[in-house]
Chains A and B, each alone.
Chain A
Amino acid sequence: DAKTTQPNSMESNEEEPVHLPCNHSTISGTDYIHWYRQLPSQGPEYVIHGLTSNVNNRMASLAIAEDRKSSTLILHRATLRDAAVYYCILRPLTDSWGKLQFGAGTQVVVTP
């Protein structure tokens, strides 16, 4: 299975953008890139996903490198509520309903 690599932690000031990198150099052509986050004492929640093109939703933006070997989750204006562990996950097209394979994720700390 393709793996992802993320920094252990990142810090940001409130109301500033946060760019969370994810490396996935062994990604296959049909792997989707998903991001979930886990707030303290809660289960993970979906953030965004994409295949090749950049994606935007109300929570974040996902920028995918042209060679798809890396991606960046962008939180445009971090709030204290965005302090969480962010997970970058690859999901094969052929296993769209199957398990999510989480790594250790990136702990985002937001300071006022």
Chain B
Amino acid sequence: DTGVSQDPRHKITKRGQNVTFRCDPISEHNRLYWYRQTLGQGPEFLTYFQNEAQLEKSRLLSDRFSAERPKGSFSTLEIQRTEQGDSAMYLCASSPPSGGQETQYFGPGTRLLVL
């Protein structure tokens, strides 16, 4: 399977714990995106990388959230001191380098439940 992969698929944690999610984009896709989706809503943008550079961050990405893409390949999203409001599906997407209006290819998501 050469699609976007995310790990883990599900995570249950207690309030106050730190969690880290991983996203592996499609090979040779230089752009990588993180979104968050709560029940009944469409995905909300969190942050975006072009290669290893983080180009845009949403104000939804509070100080407790940090994302990295150290070698321009896989990316990690860490949430520190989790809160119940962080419970959501975290989606990763990637897109190829090209001339514009590029499709974003989404992974299956990581579902986080904070107890």
Contacts and interface: CB of A to CB of B under 8 A. Distances in A.
A42 B45 CA distance: 17
28 contacts: A42-B109, A43-B91, A43-B106, A43-B108, A43-B109, A44-B91, A44-B106, A45-B105, A45-B106, A46-B103, A46-B104, A46-B105, A49-B101, A87-B42, A91-B101, A93-B101, A96-B102, A97-B50, A97-B100, A97-B102, A99-B48, A100-B45, A100-B104, A101-B45, A102-B43, A102-B44, A104-B41, A105-B42
B100 A93 contact: yes
- Give the interface residue-count category, chain B: 20 to 34
A105 B45 CA distance: 15
Contacts of B101: 32, 34, 49, 91, 93, 96
Interface in B86-104: 91, 93, 95, 99-104
Interface residues of A, number: 23
B28 interface: no
A46 B99 CA distance: 17
